[in-house]
Each structure stands twice: as structure tokens, then as C-alpha cells.
Amino acid sequence: MLITAGPTREAIDAVRYLSNRSSGKMGIALAEEASRRGYATTLLIGPVSEPLPQGPTLSVERFESTAQLQSLLQQHWPNHELLVMAAAVADFIPRTLSQGKASRHQGPVTLTLDPAPDLLQWASASRRPGQHLVGFALEPADNCIEHAQAKLARKGVDAIVANPLETMDASTIEACLVLPEGSNIKPTGTLPKSQFATWLWDALDERFPT
């Protein structure tokens, strides 16, 4: 099992960066549960403050930028059966990197942002027969499932976890698993992320037995 977790950081200058509030808690919980089930598991995790999981079947590698995560995925994805993309990957990356530390005395600064590589799309397009891919869709709760259904069709993945924006950086989650046939399944109510990880692996094990 290959799992990505946490945010990316895209440098603006030698000190500053663009990032997001992802804590990595969901991906860490998924990695811990996969390892507990005895799966050989690789966790690729961004800059987080959460304690990293440990286990005899678990290996952990760190990334900071989208480019670093992309490189790790290119290295590891061919050798895994299932990829869960729980990381909050940047949508935009600064076009240029300022030398040194930019100063306010230099006057107004304009950032030009280019679209980041679509790592979920790349993973979907590059997979071989027998590999499965689960993405995450982080959207406001009132239209989260609709966005997840559209993302599933657009990316060509096996399932999408519709993850309400309101649960970002929280210790609990109220999410559902959106499937290609137009259905979705969900646990009852709001769960600690560790319990949701157990529920999600049960659902994935049923659909993608190893």
C-alpha cells in the first residue's frame, strides 16, 4: 500500500512558502491501520508536526514540495498495488523563486502562480493492470459529494473519499466513499480519523482484495 499525507510547501524565497493547513492526521491513520493489517506500506508525508507512525511493515519517506512528492511517486507507484492520495497537494506553484529573502523595503511584490502538476491524474494514467487508486476530494460540505463524483470521472480513479473542507486539520471526520457506479457509502456520523481509517480499509479490502 502506498499512501500520501500532509501538505506541500512551495517556496517563494529562501524563507517563505505557500502551503495549506493539512495536518497529515488522516494519512497517518491510514498508514497505521494498513500496517496493523500486515500490509507492506509506504507512507509519503509532507511537513507535519504529528508524530510519525512506526511499524514492522511500514516505511516512511518525507517530502516538502510537489516536485519532491512527484519524484517519490514515480519511484514507488510502480511497485505498489494500491495508492491512497490523501496528501493536500498544491494547486499552484510560484513561477519564479526570489533570491535570498525578499524585503518589504523593495516595495510591492507580485507573485505569478502556475498550475501544479496533477499527480492524481498522472498516477491514474500511468498505472498498470491490477493497480488501484483512491483519491480525496476536499470541498465544502454542501456540495462535497457532487465535486467528488465529478473528480472521480475526470481522473479515472477507482474511488474518491469525499472529505468536507470543515474537517481539515481536525481530529474527526465525516466523509464518504464515492464509487464509479454512482453510489457512495459512508460510516454512521462523525468518527475519529483513526476509526474512519479502519472503516475505509474495510471498504477497500472488500472491493480490492489482495
Average of per-residue pLDDT values in the chain: 93
Residue 192, pLDDT score: 95
Do 162 and 137 contact (CB within 8 A), yes or no?
yes
**Burial level of 101, CB count in 10 A (0-12/13-18/19+)?**
exposed
Question: How far is CA 80 from its chain centroid?
Answer: 16
Per residue in 15-36, pLDDT tens? 999 999 999 999 999 999 999 9
How much of the chain exceeds pLDDT 90, in percent? 79
Q: Collect all residues with Cβ–Cβ distance below 8 Å to 198 and sequence separation of at least 6.
A: 33
Residue 81, pLDDT score: 96
Q: At what angle do helices 25-36 and 193-207 cross, to 10 degrees?
A: 50
- Over 80: is that where the pLDDT of 210 sits? no
Amino acid at site 5: A
The helix/strand/coil state of 82 is strand
Report pTM. Answer: 0.94
- Over 90: is that where the pLDDT of 67 sits? yes
Residue 128, pLDDT score: 95
SS3 track for 103-140 = CHHHCCCCCCEEECCCHHHHHHHHCCCCCEEEEEEEEC
Domains annotated for the chain, with CATH where assigned, are 2-92+112-207 (3.40.50.10300)
Selected residue with higher pLDDT from 14 and 166: 14
Least confidently predicted of 4-8, 96-100, 117-121, 153-157? 96-100
- Over 80: is that where the pLDDT of 107 sits? no
